[in-house]
Structure 1
Amino acid sequence: MIFSIVLALIAATGIILQFVYGEAKEGTLKKRFGLLATSISVAVLIITNINQTFDSQSLQEKIAKLDSSNSKLTKQLDICNGSISVVDQKQDSLRRNYDSLLRSYNLSRLMLDDANSRIQSLLRTTQEGFRKNEVAINEIEKVKIKDARIITEKDQKRLIKELSIGKGTIIEFGTVNTSDEAIMFSGQLRKIFESAGWETNDERWLAPKSNTIGILMFLNSSKEPEHALIVYDAIKSLGYEFKAIDKPDFEDGRIKIVIGFRE
């Protein structure tokens, strides 16, 4: 737009100068006046267009529109800031709730651990009480049964150590069910083997009329079970009547201890 104005002014200036300083030839003056009038008209149109384009009222309207747009953007920005503030508040609330729940969980965990510790302590105390009661009952039974076969605590510890080499081995027990003394002694032996890690079967009772005497060990000598010698030496060391009996019909690895009447 400015470039067009400059060109028009240059053209008009050129015509005026030519009119003033040029030679006044015939017909030329009239043409020059025509050109000058045309240039002035063009300049007037351009200036009018500029005035219309940069009319103050038009500018004010545009400014008003910009102000309106700016006001809308400001409101939207305020709404966004408000939303961000709400989100921040909710986040803070969630963080406080989480911290509260975490404290409650930790407290509950401590209480649970304390309760478990108390339960374990009570369980150990109860088990110890049962053990002491069992020992006391056994002692009473020993006193009641005259000449009962008794395995001392020292011998029990020794046998458990010696037999532990056969840990996991299966051994069977049989006892005459008409002798309280034999039943008590069998229980002592079974407990020693179990403490050494052996697996014992459910108690098998011998026939009521059985007259088995002492301690018997049944096994297939042609297929001597592993650890059979250890069992033999351990029971033999107690000093009671004891003997091993060959059972050819026994399968591999089978060992059976039978507790009979005291000799």
Structure 2
Amino acid sequence: MEQHPDWIPDGVDLETASAARCYDFYLGGAHNFAVDRELGRKVMEVVPNVQEIALHNRAFLRRAVRYCLDQGIRQFLDIGSGIPTAGNVHEIAHAVDQQARVVYVDNEPVAVAHSNTILDGVDNASVVQADLLDVDEVLDAPATRRLLDFSQPIAVMMVALVHFVPDSERPREVIRRYYDRLPAGSYLGFSHVTGDDYPEGTTGLVKLYENSSNPVTLRTRAEVAELVSDFDLVDPGVVYVPEWHPDDPEDVTDKPEESIVYGLVGRKV
């Protein structure tokens, strides 16, 4: 039994791997447990470039946020924000406008506890402990209502999140409920794991995550597009994350499909 570190809340399950903490491990963070590192190392055996995949996904988040800032968005709702690392949404946004407002949402207690530590003394940013599926709990949380003005456009980030939602939970309908509550001119930044071009590795990844607290559901490009079909997609639509508005064309690898993650940004007209 792993000793309970003093930086996490009581009651956290130290014996079951968590997607948020595995992601932290892939990114080189320190807020993960032995069980997360064990799963993470097994994933590296079937998807050897998983750390690079995590970095590509993180870079997509940064570019999606910057794109929304360029469109004049100054409020962000980052759902499934995970355990903070360098380049968080509020850091990107505040580099452009210190008055930009950011609400992070996660259901992982370690992520929320560490976010509270990171955000101590940070104006215009807060964290809510809630689940993506509890739409009203997310959107009507006191911190959300205090920081976000729902009469003005909002950018919602669901990055590397919805592949943890099984079809039985009707993710298409959940996303539609967020869409309905957002004002016109709002944006959605979205990324999702796929097995389209890398079936061997991603099948192994799905198997390994089956006994974690966050099993994975792979979806095709068409299925990802259907999930977000209420939104008008920004060019180039649904593409592998290195291909979405790269900072430099040379940043796109010869095999972008090896990122195994689709990315997109959509707008509510």
Same structural fold, with TM-score higher than 0.5 when normalized by the shorter chain: no
- Structure with the largest fraction of strand: 2
- Structure with the largest fraction of helix: 1
Scaled by the length of structure 1, what TM-score is found? 0.25
Task: Return the structure number with greater relative CO, CA threshold 8 A, min gap 6.
Answer: 2
Scaled by the length of structure 2, what TM-score is found? 0.24
| Bigger Rg, which one | 1
